[in-house]
Structure 1
């Protein structure tokens, strides 16, 4: 939110019409409202809050304080504010309710609060202390719509204009006062506010709701990942147990498989590879033993055939000798 200008008339110590050109003041960066007690510093802040929300900054103060005690009865108390938000440039003109002299006869009459709210096509280029020409005022003292070039009159109803201003500012009066204004003596109230209230308020001010939604989504993904890890570890432990049984692992190897599958799944590859290497070595050894056994069997078979052949020769020789 950016303030462009504030115009006061018959407000607080300001009996006449005065304009604060915030656009010019902020052009150089930060600026300071400085002055002795009673100079009107708080009145300027109250006027900004009143223009936006129809109430002054301090919750304990009445809007009656806005009416200048130094202004003539025929001078209207008026606050006009031009400001800009992400929704556009707006101009709001408010008059508070106050007691004034009757226009006819004697006695006092109650001047009712009024509001006019415009959306402007652009911020005014120059600000003047001079009030609107009488020809541009309506019979009840309001600024005619034609007096705001490039502006669209949005509302003249207190409730409707108030709701629209809260929408475009993005904060209600309490939130605006707690964060943007913090009247004298009320900073501690913000610090003492409930942590959840401060959190929600700061989120709205700085637009961090999106980060909270991202955090919530990340938390959901983290929980899903944890569930997946837990399920995967259970499957891994079952697989490790089956592998230990199928590979004929000894008690020490089986215990190592159970331990790493539960505590350090990444290390199970090393244990399994070691076990497979041992199995491959035993397989090669068994294959070598089998090869030697086959060779021995073949040699024994050959020896047996040779013995049988000799035996047959001996038997034939004996038969021939017997015939002679």
Structure 2
């Protein structure tokens, strides 16, 4: 527990971190034809999307699996380990700044849910702008995770927000509708959420809105609500958002707890493994981070962000060991 610059109580990381850069990973549905004609889904590095955002933030969009698919025939089954690089490879390897936080987002489309069936993107908005508020007084249950310090003390959490997710929110319905302003999408979520507070999908979307706004307490209110009503096999969607909030606030134990839960619920999702590895990196638990980047690559060998981070850790450890040798 610390104190904010403004004088109020603060829980978590109470220091402003204006120099932090974020990379955003979004999971969305991408269909690819398999050799046998059936549909398969994979994760691929699609590169930078658009310009860098203000403040050094950048957005990298990653396609993701909607089903536990092994991917292209014979690819991941043959993957055992990336192995350790030699000195020459370390010199050639593009090093990743491991202090750069990778902000992850698991879209409901990865669960074969069409968000346009839950949010009306078509009707013209006539009413004033509104914000999607969740029930802040929802009774604690075995699902709301109130035993975690970050949830119990959410009113005082120091969360700097993830403004780079703004574009993700604006493009929620992009498969069928053009992008809309952040305020418009927030209003559309608010309209339907007001009528249906038991929808875990809408609560998860509302949490995304508050992640962009940097209001951790309201985001966690919505994630508690989503966790309370989501079926067990869908809970990794709000859990991944919660892990990102806790990592932002440097509440490592809570971030690990919810990221592990997400992996247990959906071990076939690359983003869940990658998120857990990122938490370990932030904690400088390099051996554990490497293990989870390896498991990420077992699911998707071509997933460059995991490979780059794993190689960076390996080269760092090798260099450190060489310096210690006489």
- The TM tier, using the shorter chain, reads under 0.3
TM-score calculated relative to the size of structure 1: 0.22
Higher strand share: 1
Q: Which has the larger radius of gyration?
A: 1
